[in-house]
Amino acid sequence: MHPLRSVTVVGGGLAGFTVAAQLRANGFDGTVRIVDPQGLPYDRPPLSKAYLTGDATLELAPSAWYDDNAVEVITGRVTRLSAGTGGVLVGGRELASDAVVLATGGLPRPLPGGRVLRTRADADRLRETLRPGGELVIVGAGLIGAEVASSARTLGVAVTLVDPVAVPLVPAVGPELAVFLQAQHEKHGVRFLHGTPSRIGGGFAEIERHDGERVRVGADTVLAAVGLEVHTGLASSAGLAVDGGIVVDSAGRTSNPAIYAVGDIARTRLPDGTLQRRGEHWESAMLDGTATARSLLGLAADTRPPPWFWSDRYGLHVEAVGTMAVPGKTVFRESGPASRLAFRLDTDGRLTGCASINGGKALRAARRLIARAAVVAPEYLRDPAVDVRKLGRNTRAGTG
């Protein structure tokens, strides 16, 4: 194998930035470039929360960091990927490198007549429309839709939230927490409609409810928050394996040993051939970037913890770790009016997932138990008097 002297990262979100930062943190002194149409890398999660209300900045590092760490940022769009040479074409300029890391992320699924929220420019345009007394219709009540609804209510905007699922997020957080979170929308003045949009335009949206009734609601702005599409054209044209994302191994390697993929666009194939779902959360992007940087440098991979995500809305901090969508049962714990936890046990009694509202240290302790595939008695999980952190030290709680 030739020595690694240069790396080009295509995409300036968290995953791409982490690759560059971890290369430098681990002593790589070769050329590092980040190519992105929007210039300096920035964080995406605040776009639907604090940035939308004017309370946050987005930069992942100050501009001086890139000079201090000799990371070149090229503002431009990659139009061609050369599988043979590791080169990329940016604005007619060919950039050769020993390795290319694709970190281009995904794009929101469009909705005719609706806006999307993925970039800083999207957020700036949306923020301009959010005025007290205005009317916003959000299609999709998942994490992004709920966060924007909360932010818009903070700004005094009337919000209608539309979703084809009566109670969203059940697979992610379990039924008890999903019902509680759904009730928060109504509590904070958000109108929820169970249905899908049939027509958008002229200051209104027409919604076809699940029972067939059509409802017309005022809409200065309609936002589509119905998930991501990954665009794999560059990868396909370079002959990379693609299957609902760019297929990679646990270190981010694609079917071409000189090309890696990380973040939303990557889909990991396990050693047994199973293709995992794409990770579309903040920590997943960071861990992908770290693993790929270490692989590029020939370093051993760190042990990957169970997947985790968080969301903030209406002053509540929502988190989930592991998976709540396996056969088994859910154990619910209420620790007070502001704290709730749901634990998922598989059919063998192993803890596979935990979701929480303001769960704090209990959720972090549950994550350690999930990593151990610990068997935990349901009565311990249900009882708010039992400290979840102590279950990790109790041999009766687990198998390892």
pLDDT digits (tens, 9 = 90+) for 251-299: 999 999 999 999 999 999 888 888 777 877 888 899 999 999 999 999 9
What is the number of other CB atoms lying within 10 angstroms of the CB of residue 309? 19
For the record, the structure tokens of 298 come out as: 């020939």
Please check the confidence at residue 398 and state whether its pLDDT lies above 60. no
d(CA 334, CA 117): 34
d(CA 141, CA 290): 31
- Sheet of 71-75: strand order equals 71-75, 31-36, 6-10, 99-102, 259-261
Domains of the chain: 6-108+228-296 (3.50.50.60), 120-224 (3.50.50.60), 315-391 (3.30.390.30)
- Going by DSSP bridges, is the β-strand pair 204-209/214-218 parallel, antiparallel, or unpaired? antiparallel
Evaluate whether 367 touches 321 at the Cβ level (below 8 Å): yes
Give the whole-number percent of the chain exceeding pLDDT 90: 72
Average pLDDT of the segment spanning 353-379: 93
Please check the confidence at residue 396 and state whether its pLDDT lies above 70. no
Average pLDDT of the segment spanning 314-320: 95
pLDDT for 395:
37
pLDDT for 2:
66
DSSP at 302: P
Burial of 276 (C-beta count, 10 Å sphere; 0-12/13-18/19+): middle
Task: Tell me the pLDDT of the chain averaged across its residues.
Answer: 91
Q: Is 161 helix (H, G, I), strand (E, B) or coil?
A: strand
Average pLDDT of the segment spanning 310-325: 94
